[in-house]
Structure 1
Amino acid sequence: MSIAIVGAGIIGASVTYHLKKTGYNDEIDVYEKLDAPGEASTSLCAGGARNLWSTSVNLALATESLRRFASFKEETGRTIGYENIGYLFCLYEEEYKQIEGFLPEWKKYGVNAELIPAERISDFVPKLIPDVDDEVKELLNIKPFRGALWGKDCCALNPTSCTTAMFDCAKEMGGIELHLGTEVEKIIIGGGKVKGLEMKNGEKINCDRCVVAAGTWSGVLLEKSGVDIPIVPIKRMLFTVYLPPELGFEHIPMTIIDRGVYFRVEAGNLLVGRAKEDQEPGFDTTVENKYYVDEMNPYMQVRIPGTEYCRILSSWGGLYAVTPDNNAIIGEYPGIDGLYLITGFSGHGVMEAPAAGRALAELITEGEYKTIDLSPLSIKRFKEGKLIKETIVI
């Protein structure tokens, strides 16, 4: 049976690669409206991956995906910029206690993490101050760090390289056609089945099955196809800033401090981000440098002396595909044979791409999940009131 995949980001690449690995022998056509794979949200993200989550489905997906990233070169012979840098979440007292409660469950999943005391934080991030004076705490509404969560298997990678590598491996197995610069206008559905695709230029293509892996554009595509899905695009901004050599940040982990401000070293500079709490949904990706100056760098300055010199070198905006519970929608759409969804990862698509793509490939080829049961991520959960409330979201 013919299958079409809409979207050539890291999720679409993972589904394609794992379909071929599971022995899918029919033709796979991948459609991407941009001119290269992994050129949209995949290329704009922070490139970090962690397995520190509060829900079992995310724990399973991320832990398996981290294992796959670590062994990717061995598996494929290709490099993806993998670095085992770790993650360091600096925690207030109440957050520290919450994480203590997660540790036994994490151990069951093989999560390699530990809580460290406040006095050890500067061993990981030089000059980082766990506490500040009362006036600063009141001004910025922050608290002392009780300690930190050290995720030892967490990593950084180049998501675009990973995307390209998976497509290249799939092509080597044969039966893959990648249609770049080709926008799908809608999915043709009739009699409760997928019938084909209609392109932006009016061309119609027959297919029996369609995988929607279009990220933030999934909602638009499905709406035009008469299919309802609860996904909205939310802007996120990243800033590359100057890294003063005297900070000694050559080998720091991905570090998360107050208000969700996070940073890591990339190419000798510092990559900094923070979710804007009042960001309205929409496709506008205009970057706001003032947001870094007013809402990010002040927290860096009070925790790490010298970061006041971290001036902006470059900046960009991207989009999260966000669902009501900040978790992906994966599985076959109820009542429409052949329509598969793998979208709405709400900012953790890269982190879960290998395991999620493999699981959906299993569902398509074998009719059931084999490695990880992703049935809790079915779109049915929204109507059934079975939302998965993930609490560790940056």
Structure 2
Amino acid sequence: MEWNGKEGKWKEEMELKEGEEGRNGSREEAGEVGIEGGIRQQFSRPENILISLFGAQFLRNINEHLGVVNEDPIDIQFNPSGYLFLASEEGASILEENYKVQRECGAQVALLSAEQLKKKLPWINTDGVALASYGLENEGWFDPWSLLSAFKRKALSMGVYHSHGEVIGFKQSVREMITEDGESVNFKRIKHVIVQAPNSLETQSVECAIVINAAGAWSSKVAEMAGIGTGVPDSLEGLKLPVEPRKRYVYMFHCPNGPGLDSPLLIDTSGAYYRREGLGGNYIGGMSPTEEEEPGASNLEVDYDFFHDKVWPALAQRVPAFENLKVKSAWAGYYDYNTFDQNGVIGIHPLVNNMFFATGFSGHGLQQSPAVGRAIAELIIDGQFKTLDLTAFSFKRFCSGEHILERNIV
């Protein structure tokens, strides 16, 4: 595609890399390990800021944590170019409030006026920008697949047995208790996991002491296998895990005259974002759809019209060089989207007393994975959070109706 800035018309020159990215440009694994591989501290809730600060230090010292003797050092290709949030007059006060919380938590962030932003990044069109928030340290992006591979390699080196199969059910023990009001409540404990191996009709029953539900976009289905959300409506047993798959698109485009090494991961006032992809004038970008525009999640086909109609106009308005660009490829992936408040679910279920949740991160799971893994380990070993109190993200908030809202959703 190309945008003809003078005539204000769209010119179609689509290039799809079928085969390399999969049919229709979809790439399923992108949804599993993070769509754009970013890490930032620019959140509004202290817990999310502190989670990401730990994640940044973990990544900076990744070979101390995940290095394996006699194996090559890990290179996650971290680009510490920062995030740049742009705000209109309407959103400037929120950006200022977030900035105060971020600084109190130890994040290195700077606020820039439109004039300061233009001086720092001359290639930006600052029309409609009242304030900008720029991450000075520990923000940027990295290769998601390298991190996932490093986690897996380290686990295997420590004796973890990796079994590939689909969980299709659980065997549980049930203990009934009667409340003071005379209501019956069933407490469950998972004893066995029923697993079906690929290309096999046979199933295997695996004895277990603990189940960690980190099934991402499908974690609600796994929870239902344990009876979570299948009881009487408006009861604790009938309370579902509010996580579902949401399809998101990422587009890779080429612009030879686009921003260079000084380009951060930019989030526009419109919600459109982009970042560099390497050094050859390539970029990736996208935008979260509105509720009305939410695409179906039954497949991973890419909607190129969404880029044409929504993403590109916003990016070209903010970065005039993007008026002329060419889409090279695109893919789609799934967010494990928490419909309740778009924040993670971390901790044990109140009725299934050996199922732990690590899910519902709504697009932030990759950068939050080091701290969340540590938190779950503390709950299992110590019975409580020791390093960082993440109680606010427990399943219990769905019972009380207390939303843990984040004002910096991307």
Paired with 1:313 and 1:360, the residues of 2 have a C-alpha distance of 40
Q: What residue in structure 2 maps to residue 149 of structure 1? A: 133
Q: What residue in structure 1 maps to residue 283 of structure 2? A: 270
Query: Structure 1: which 5+ runs fail to align?
Result: 1-37, 132-143
User: For 1:243, which of 255, 276, 279 is the aligned residue?
Assistant: 255
Contact 1:44-1:317 at 8 Å conserved across structures: no
Q: What residue in structure 2 maps to residue 164 of structure 1? A: 149
Query: What secondary structure, in the 3-state scheme, does the structure 1 residue paired with 2:284 have?
Result: strand
State the one-letter code of the partner of 1:183. E
State the one-letter code of the partner of 1:189. Q
Give 1 or 2 for the bigger CA radius of gyration: 2
Change (3 A) 1:62 1:317: same
Residue 188 of structure 2 is aligned to residue 214 of structure 1:
no
Paired with 1:119 and 1:160, the residues of 2 have a C-alpha distance of 38
Q: What residue in structure 2 maps to residue 329 of structure 1? A: 345
Contact 1:42-1:159 at 8 Å conserved across structures: no
Q: What residue in structure 2 maps to residue 347 of structure 1? A: 363
Paired with 1:357 and 1:123, the residues of 2 have a C-alpha distance of 41
Tell me the alpha carbon deviations over residues 319-348 of structure 1, each in whole angstroms, 9 at most, x when there is no partner. Answer: 111111000111011121211110110111
Tell me the number of residue pairs that the alignment of Structure 1 and Structure 2 aligns: 342
State the one-letter code of the partner of 2:373. G
Query: What secondary structure, in the 3-state scheme, does the structure 2 residue paired with 1:316 have?
Result: strand
State the one-letter code of the partner of 1:107. R
- 1:115-126 matched pairs, under 5 angstroms: 115-126=111-122
- 1:2-81 matched pairs, under 5 angstroms: 39=29, 41-43=31-33, 45-75=35-65, 76=67, 77-81=73-77
Residue 406 of structure 2 is aligned to residue 390 of structure 1:
yes
Residue 168 of structure 2 is aligned to residue 179 of structure 1:
no
State the one-letter code of the partner of 2:288. A
Larger mean CA deviation between 338-347 and 99-108 belongs to 99-108
Q: How far apart are 1:356 and its partner, in Å?
A: 0.8
State the one-letter code of the partner of 2:325. C
Paired with 1:185 and 1:378, the residues of 2 have a C-alpha distance of 25
Q: CA RMSD in A?
A: 1.8
Q: What residue in structure 2 maps to residue 305 of structure 1? A: 320
- 1:244-259 matched pairs, under 5 angstroms: 244=256, 246-259=257-270
Change (3 A) 1:366 1:44: closer
Q: What residue in structure 2 maps to residue 190 of structure 1? A: 173
Q: TM-score, normalised by structure 2?
A: 0.79
Q: TM-score, normalised by structure 1?
A: 0.82
Matched-pair identity in %: 29
State the one-letter code of the partner of 1:157. F
Query: Structure 2: which 5+ runs fail to align?
Result: 1-27, 68-72, 175-187, 197-201, 230-240
Query: What secondary structure, in the 3-state scheme, does the structure 2 residue paired with 1:177 have?
Result: coil
Contact 2:42-2:98 at 8 Å conserved across structures: no
Tell me the alpha carbon deviations over residues 141-199 of structure 1, each in whole angstroms, 9 at most, x when there is no partner. Answer: xxx1012100122121111111111221222222x01123x111123322211111112
Query: What secondary structure, in the 3-state scheme, does the structure 1 residue paired with 2:352 have?
Result: coil
Q: How far apart are 1:286 and its partner, in Å?
A: 1.7
Contact 1:85-1:251 at 8 Å conserved across structures: yes
Paired with 1:380 and 1:224, the residues of 2 have a C-alpha distance of 19
Paired with 1:248 and 1:261, the residues of 2 have a C-alpha distance of 16
Residue 73 of structure 2 is aligned to residue 84 of structure 1:
no
Contact 2:31-2:332 at 8 Å conserved across structures: no
Residue 246 of structure 2 is aligned to residue 234 of structure 1:
yes
Contact 1:211-1:342 at 8 Å conserved across structures: yes
Change (3 A) 1:187 1:123: farther
Tell me the alpha carbon deviations over residues 283-303 of structure 1, each in whole angstroms, 9 at most, x when there is no partner. Answer: 432210111011011112222
Change (3 A) 1:248 1:259: closer
Contact 1:232-1:281 at 8 Å conserved across structures: no
Q: What residue in structure 2 maps to residue 30 of structure 1? A: none
More helix by share: 1
State the one-letter code of the partner of 1:264. R
Contact 1:212-1:341 at 8 Å conserved across structures: yes
